[in-house]
């Protein structure tokens, strides 16, 4: 995962599927900023949100276009508007969706 300092937001996803378990998706959009040290605070916050380390292997960081093309239908319009404005100084949005087919 790379943190491109030119990007205003960072986009994280875990898209997990297992037979008999259904589909779980964890999504995070957060402001791209550095805390002044080597800690990746956005990634740390995403891992805390996921809560279970066995899902960490599936963490992907997407660029805005990739993320929105797949997950925009799961994001409320007011969040999409905030992302488009690129003026939120301390913005974080997280969502967890689980669908079980059984």
Q: What is the pTM of this model?
A: 0.88
Return the domain boundaries, the chain: 9-99
pLDDT at 72: 95
pLDDT at 81: 94
pLDDT at 17: 86
pLDDT at 2: 57
- Give DSSP secondary structure letters for 21-32: TEEEEEEEEEE-
Q: What are the b/e assignments for 39-64, b being 16+ CB within 10 Å?
A: ebebbeebbebbeeeeeeeebebbeb
Nearest residue to 12 (alpha-carbon basis) of 2, 26, 22, 23? 26
Helix axes 77-85, 64-71, angle to 10 degrees: 170
* Residue 99 three-state SS: strand
From first to last of its 102 residues, what are the pLDDT tens digits of the chain?
556 667 899 999 999 987 777 889 999 999 998 777 788 999 999 999 999 999 999 999 999 999 999 999 999 999 999 999 998 888 999 999 998 876
């Amino acid at each position: 995962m790379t943190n491109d300092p030119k990007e205003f937001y960072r986009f994280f996803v875990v898209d997990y599927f297992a037979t008999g378990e259904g589909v779980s998706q964890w999504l995070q959009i957060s402001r791209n900023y550095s805390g002044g040290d080597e800690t990746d605070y956005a990634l740390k916050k995403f891992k805390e949100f996921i809560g279970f380390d066995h899902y960490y292997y599936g963490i992907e960081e997407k660029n805005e276009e990739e993320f929105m093309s797949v997950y925009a239908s799961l994001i409320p319009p007011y969040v999409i508007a905030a992302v488009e404005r690129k003026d939120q100084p301390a913005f974080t949005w997280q969502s967890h969706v689980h669908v079980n087919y059984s």
